Structure 1
């Protein structure tokens, strides 16, 4: 997806790796991420990571909205997540 000249990746997965990735984001065990902010109001668990990626645990899977390295797109990410969540069955 290309939005306003910026590439945006939207993905959803329900495999065991999705749950492992969510655990990693929550615990930040490997210190992979510089910034993790828990959010509310979208799915069961929501995290804004490194100012360019949104992780949403919803309907037994992980929805990821990724803006590459384009920072400060939290509101847009949340809007895209709401749209995507309406299509997840």
Structure 2
């Protein structure tokens, strides 16, 4: 009975040592993150976030807020403000 208990303990100890050795030697490649950042920066940013198929999302009803920018439909330009809660989205 004692031999089985000692053998089981040794197996568990060896498994823990193997996992520890693997995790100690595992190093993620730092260039993976660098390459992901370069690819993200290289993407075409000519489209606005609200733009699709050459049309831009805009709002007819806005409120004043100097901390935000929103595209105003009559001029299709960004103005300081934010859309009202009841504002419908449109395109210009």
TM-score with structure 2 length normalisation? 0.18
Q: Quick check: which one's helix share is greater? A: 2
Structure with bigger gyration radius:
2
TM-score with structure 1 setting the length: 0.18
